[in-house]
Amino acid sequence: MLCLRTLLGPLVALVAIAFSAVPATAADLAERAVIGYSVDGRYFAFEQFGIQDGSGFAYSEIFVIDLDRDRWVRGTPIRVRGVDETERLFDVRAEAMAEAETHLARLHISVPYRTLASTTPLEVGGQETRLGFYPRPILQPIDPLITLHLARFPMASPQDCYGMVETHGFSLALQQAGGGTVTIYRDTSLPRSRVCPERYGLADIIVPFDGGPGRAVALISVYQLGFEGLDRRFLAVPFDLPI
């Protein structure tokens, strides 16, 4: 009996040819919506949503993260996908939020957020790999400028990527004006959930709105192998601000 891999071989080859013929741009450019922090600053929640390439189905995924342990809360992420291409993204997002409400209420995730810096892959200027910001929302800054640097490096994926992309891990380094540079995150292995990541970008720097307890969070764009090219998804990296 032929195994599924053997049967899919010719199809995978055709997809690889199609993929190599298109530029490395996102076929499914997910968006994000930050939900907020818990009252004690330990938990953080955000949503990623969009329209799947290939199927055209709307989807919404809500992540609730234990910042102390740097891992998803048990029972999450909440993932909802439309049943066909006619189901509205608005309705799919509402369904996902309704499913997540129990977790948000139980963990007291009710503190709004503030965005210290934000970027998009459509900008020009290299902000996705080097992003400068001030750690407090003051128009006349009283703190040294902070710069986050993102670097990628080749790393094997546990997923079978069929040679269609070279997979990478990433690292984050924090530089404070007048001081040195400290690595605050570096991949040691790739999780299966990243699905063949080719590159990364800095998306947002998020802190609790009221300046209460809790870490800052860097939302990172992950450009991974999709059906029609590279898809963008997000992950969160907690870190401490030097203030």
75-106 tens-digit pLDDT: 999 999 999 999 999 999 999 999 999 999 99
Confidence tier at 4 by pLDDT (50, 70, 90):
very low
Residue with tokens 């380094």: 173
Confidence tier at 25 by pLDDT (50, 70, 90):
very low
Specify if 225 maps to a domain.
Answer: yes
The reported pLDDT for the residue numbered 36 is 97
The reported pLDDT for the residue numbered 16 is 45
Q: How far from 32 is each of 3, 71, 92, 143, 236, CA to CA, in Å?
A: 38, 18, 14, 28, 11
Specify if 47 maps to a domain.
Answer: yes
CA–CA gap between residue 28 and residue 49 (Å, rounded): 10
Q: How far from 19 is each of 30, 167, 178, 216, 238, CA to CA, in Å?
A: 19, 15, 45, 36, 33
CA–CA gap between residue 113 and residue 137 (Å, rounded): 12
pTM: 0.88
Residue with tokens 């102390």: 68
Using a pLDDT cut of 70, give the percent of the chain over it.
88
CA–CA gap between residue 169 and residue 197 (Å, rounded): 8
Does pLDDT of 13 surpass 90?
A: no
What does pLDDT average to over the chain?
89
List phi, psi (to 5°) of 9: -50, -55
| Domains of the chain: total | 1
Specify if 191 maps to a domain.
Answer: yes
The answer to whether 103 touches 36, Cβ cutoff 8 Å, is no
Specify if 9 maps to a domain.
Answer: no
Specify if 1 maps to a domain.
Answer: no
The pLDDT tens digits of the residues spanning 179-222 come to 889 999 999 999 999 999 999 999 999 999 987 667 899 999 99
Q: Mean pLDDT across the stretch 1-21?
A: 41
Q: Mean pLDDT across the stretch 118-125?
A: 88
**Torsion sign, CA atoms 136, 138, 176, 45:** positive
The reported pLDDT for the residue numbered 111 is 95
Q: Where in the sequence is the domain holding 205, given as residue range(s)?
A: 22-239
The reported pLDDT for the residue numbered 213 is 66
Specify if 29 maps to a domain.
Answer: yes
CA–CA gap between residue 218 and residue 201 (Å, rounded): 10
DSSP state of 151: E
The answer to whether 44 touches 217, Cβ cutoff 8 Å, is yes
- For the chain, the C-alpha Rg in angstroms (whole number) is 19
Half-sphere exposure of 196 (CA within 13 A, CB side): 14
Measured from the Cβ of residue 196, the count of other Cβ atoms closer than 10 Å reads 23
Confidence tier at 159 by pLDDT (50, 70, 90):
very high
Q: How far from 44 is each of 21, 148, 215, 240, CA to CA, in Å?
A: 39, 20, 9, 14
Specify if 7 maps to a domain.
Answer: no
Specify if 3 maps to a domain.
Answer: no
